[in-house]
Amino acid sequence: MKKFSLTAAIQKRNSINQSAFIPYMMAGDGGLEVLNKRISFLEKSGADAIEIGIPFSDPVADGEVIQDAGSRALAHGVTLRKVMRELQKEKHSIPLVIMSYLNPILSFGIPEFVKSCEQAAVRGLIIPDLPYEERELLTNALMDKDIALVPLISLTSSKERIEKIAQAAEGFIYAVTVNGITGIRNGFDEELGDHLNELKQVSKVPVLAGFGISTPEQVRDFSLLADGVIVGSAIVSAFHEENYEKIQSLIEADRVIVKS
């Protein structure tokens, strides 16, 4: 099994009995000129990795907040190619994870995109509309690269499918905590804890919870259930409002003792 820097960053946090925190941000929301500045802010605030969304015209997995951020970025003329060029301008010490739909990557060209990821120190890819059965579109090009193709597992996945995806998982498992799109939510399924525990039992890589986690209280709750949390809409909103204290409070809420 390949070793990935992304996995190592999460396990490093877990090794001191803390849960990993991965914030999501929309590349180009506010202009590309703030992209690296915002990455540096998240890095200094204690993020363990950063998920960077690529704006897309048909973001089927995204809720209203992230859709609006993507629309603002597209209005600035932001593209995947421009984002990759911007990321290459600075070196960051934590793993970057690109979240993109498949179409922009195919338009970029898979070999060229993978090369660009290496040059930008991207250590993970999340592609929500790439089915598990078609992952070889990317895995063949990533064969000898330190770039993990991170799988998403939904609440409705069968036990057999979960085990199949978990066995081939790279980087971490993105455990989707709700049925539906991203966005701020007030509550979650009561059996979610059991679901996350089952994923951890069959996975060789860390299991991170994401979708709908938006308050310090929810961050703390999920920190006790998973190896880490991913926070998207709340981070995107905070950047748009220039509320940097809110972002810091979310990351600080994650620094709790995890269950053994």
- What confidence tens digit (pLDDT) does each residue in 134-162 have? 999 999 999 999 999 999 998 889 999 99
Least confident of 10-14, 77-81, 155-159, 161-165: 155-159
CA-to-CA distance for 111 and 105, rounded, in angstroms? 10
Q: Is residue 259 part of a domain?
A: no
> What pLDDT band is residue 100 in, cutting at 50, 70 and 90?
very high
In a domain, 260, yes or no: no
The span from the CA of 229 to the CA of 254, in Å, is 8
Least reliable range by pLDDT among 39-53, 118-132, 134-148, 185-199: 185-199
CATH of the domain at 183: 3.20.20.70
Number of neighbouring beta carbons within 10 Å of residue 34? 16
The answer to whether residue 258 is domain-embedded is no
- Residue 165 or 1, more confident: 165
pLDDT of 185 over the 60 cut: no
pLDDT of residue 183: 47
d(CA 22, CA 20) in angstroms, rounded, equals 7
Given this model, what pLDDT does residue 99 score?
A: 97
Rounded CA-CA distance 24/17 in Å is 23
Structure-token pair, residue 145: 């690269």
φ, ψ dihedrals at 229, nearest 5°? -130, 155
User: Alpha helices of 120-191 — where are they, by DSSP H?
Assistant: 136-139, 159-167
With respect to residue 75, please indicate whether it lies within any of the assigned structural domains.
Answer: yes
Please give the residue range of the domain that contains residue 10.
Answer: 5-253
- Structural domain count, the chain: 1
Residues annotated catalytic, as ranges: 51, 62
Q: 26-64: per-residue pLDDT in tens? A: 999 999 999 999 999 999 999 999 999 999 988 876 788
Q: Is the pLDDT of residue 70 over 60?
A: yes
The DSSP letter of residue 259 is P
Residues β-bridged to residue 21: 229
Structure tokens at 201: 């039992």
In a domain, 248, yes or no: yes
0.85 exceeded by pTM:
yes
**CA gyration radius, the chain:** 17
Query: Residue 153 domain-assigned?
Result: yes
Please state the rounded mean pLDDT for residues 156-175.
95
Closest CA to 25 of 238, 176, 184, 211: 238
Mean per-residue pLDDT, 75-82: 96
115 pLDDT higher than 90: yes
Q: Distances in Å between the alpha carbon of 68 and those of 26, 29, 57, 138, 229?
A: 10, 9, 11, 28, 23
Task: Please give the DSSP secondary-structure letter assigned to residue 51.
Answer: E
96: in domain: yes
Residue 143 resides in a domain: yes
